Amino acid sequence: MARRRAMAKSASDPGPTRRASDRGRYGRLNRERVLAAALELVDREGLSALSMRRLGAELGVEAMALYRYAASKDALLDGLVEALYLELEERLAAEPGTGSTDTAPAWRAELHRIARATYDVCLAHPRAVPLLSTRMLAVPLAQRPLAVLKDHERVLALLRDAELDETRSATVFQAFTAWLLGYVSVELRPMVDNPDEPDPSFRLGLHRMPSQELPRLRQTAPALAERGGPEGLAAGLDALLDRFAQEPGK
């Protein structure tokens, strides 16, 4: 009788030694496939739609099968950051740099190339972009995905190529990162209140803003709604490098 009860329990409760199958509708899973599916889901429906259960349904597996590739929801979010930086690496590898130009040394031209490639990745995955800030606030440097650390290393190596010492390299690295991620965040923030409204004022919902309290914001909103594009990114980066990368005292 005891043996029969034990067999019945084993059949109903898989226990820690039995694992959910990771063979889904796209074949056997791997980390790359799981992260790609998670990114596609976020691209389509936003971060609020992402859960282990929903991702498992997308892949045709039980949610428990995904914990082999991401131990928690936070680990899955970190994986999405990793996926964005891996895409950045692919873009940089696909379009090698051209070296020095008539107007910029090689290290500076390469920083521009990295910034533009990062901008393109973010515009391709706008709903995942908030993770580039929120996860960096939650995850210590040494625990960030390797793809993120390699990007940090790439930028710092260029700054050392520019013969900046360790202190100035750190200053320029922080300024570069802040400008790049801040610029992208401003570019992607929602501005349109009613996309079907042809009148610019009603399209932006300016009628919802009290004119007496917010006169300058109402006046400037149409200009704020225009994206600066890669040209604005490059202009700001040049201004930053002119300020922070110059020789002390100049």
What residue ranges do the domains of the chain occupy? Answer: 20-71, 75-188+239-250
How much is the pLDDT for 7? Answer: 41
100 band by pLDDT with thresholds 50, 70 and 90: low
User: Which of 3.40.50.2000, 1.10.10.60, 3.40.50.1370, 3.40.1390.40 is the CATH number of 20-71?
Assistant: 1.10.10.60
How much is the pLDDT for 180? Answer: 97
Which tokens go with 91?
A: 């873009």
How much is the pLDDT for 26? Answer: 54
Q: What is the pLDDT of residues 6-48, one digit of tens each?
A: 444 434 444 433 355 565 555 578 999 999 999 999 999 999 9
- DSSP letter string over 105-159? -HHHHHHHHHHHHHHHHHHHSTTTTTHHHHHHHHS-GGGS-HHHHHHHHHHHHHH
- Distance CA(222)–CA(211), nearest Å, equals 15
How much is the pLDDT for 61? Answer: 92
Segment 78-96 mean pLDDT: 94
Beta carbons within 8 Å of 189's beta carbon, 6+ residues apart: none
Q: What is the pLDDT of residues 185-228, one digit of tens each?
A: 999 999 999 999 999 999 999 999 999 999 999 999 999 999 99
Mean pLDDT of the chain: 88
**Of the candidates 228, 207, 227, the residue with the CA atom closest to the CA atom of residue 218:** 207
3-state secondary structure of 23: strand
The pairs formed by 14-21 with CB atoms below 8 angstroms and a separation of 24 or more are 19/64, 19/65, 19/68, 20/61, 20/62, 20/63, 20/64, 20/65, 21/61, 21/62, 21/65
Q: What is the pLDDT of residues 45-81, one digit of tens each?
A: 999 999 999 999 999 999 999 999 999 999 999 999 9
Segment 235-240 mean pLDDT: 96
- The CATH class given to the 75-188+239-250 domain equals mainly alpha
Which tokens go with 30?
A: 């791997």
3-state secondary structure of 231: helix
Question: Whole-prediction pTM value?
Answer: 0.83
How much is the pLDDT for 222? Answer: 93
- Would you say the CATH fold of 75-188+239-250 matches that of 20-71? no
